[in-house]
């Protein structure tokens, strides 16, 4: 890093509210480029040059927004988490039951991850780049599940269990089904698979 770039880093504002609309667009462009590069090359093989070339911005511009490769990787994890959680939150707003919310939530996640297939690679990489962030990523997802489950349990829609246990079980189902069809095969999750998963969740596997 040049002395100029070091000075830029030292003076960089972390408060996004200080960025202009153009600045926010450039920052988003860098994060989108980072998603592609980290997905293709992995964290340790990727470079800042790769990211700036993908984003079509000058290398010095990178340091206006991020101090290092690690920082943009961490911000990317946070952005991906926020984006798909917001997508699901909005999608399930008008769901009339916990079952309907689950179907909509799973479907929304599968569609979202098809547009962001590198999510799986990037999140898996985070466990060695920043283990605390890796844990945070899953805890944030679990929080949304837990709130919905607590409400459903209070309303008598589902049996009373430890909501955290159920949350992580549901997260595992959606994650691995998405991995099996969306990530491995780059296809939509078949309707029969979604239906079977929902039946397992709400009816169990015991005959």
Phi, psi of 47 (to 5 degrees): -135, 165
Task: Residue 52: give its domain's CATH number.
Answer: 1.10.10.60
Within the chain, what is the greatest distance between any pair of CA atoms? 69
Tell me the pLDDT of the chain (207 aa) as tens digits. 545 344 444 544 445 656 788 888 999 999 999 999 999 999 999 999 999 999 999 999 999 999 999 999 999 999 999 999 999 999 999 999 999 999 999 999 999 999 999 999 999 999 999 999 999 999 999 999 999 999 999 999 999 999 999 999 999 999 999 999 999 999 999 999 999 999 999 999 988
CA 118, CA 46: separation in Å to the nearest integer? Answer: 14
Question: pTM of the predicted model, to two decimals?
Answer: 0.86
Residue that is last in its domain, among 15, 48, 67: 67
Question: What number of other Cβ atoms are within 10 A of residue 131's Cβ?
Answer: 10
Same structural domain, 84 and 183? yes
Q: For residue 15, what are the domain limits?
A: 3-67
Same structural domain, 120 and 162? yes
Same structural domain, 155 and 101? yes
Interval 131-190: pLDDT, tens: 999 999 999 999 999 999 999 999 999 999 999 999 999 999 999 999 999 999 999 999
Same structural domain, 100 and 175? yes
CA 28, CA 37: separation in Å to the nearest integer? Answer: 14
Same structural domain, 125 and 30? no
């Amino acid at each position: 890093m040049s002395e100029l770039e070091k000075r830029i880093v030292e003076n960089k504002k972390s408060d996004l509210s200080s960025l202009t609309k153009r600045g926010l667009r450039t920052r988003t462009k860098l994060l989108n480029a980072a998603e592609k590069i980290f997905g293709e090359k992995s964290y340790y093989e990727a470079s800042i040059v790769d990211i700036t070339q993908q984003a079509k911005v000058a290398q010095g511009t990178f340091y206006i927004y991020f101090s290092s490769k690690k920082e943009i990787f961490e911000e990317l994890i946070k952005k991906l988490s926020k984006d798909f959680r917001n997508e699901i939150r909005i999608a399930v707003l008008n769901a009339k039951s916990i079952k309907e919310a689950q179907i909509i939530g799973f479907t929304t996640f599968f569609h979202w991850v098809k547009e962001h297939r590198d999510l799986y690679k990037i999140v898996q990489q985070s466990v060695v780049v920043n283990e605390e962030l890796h844990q945070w990523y899953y805890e944030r997802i679990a929080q949304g599940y837990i709130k919905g489950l607590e409400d459903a349990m209070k309303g008598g829609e589902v049996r009373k269990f430890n909501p955290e246990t159920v949350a992580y079980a549901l997260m595992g189902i959606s994650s691995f089904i998405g991995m099996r069809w969306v990530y491995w095969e780059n296809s939509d999750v078949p309707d029969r698979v979604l239906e079977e998963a929902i039946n397992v969740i709400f009816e169990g596997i015991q005959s």
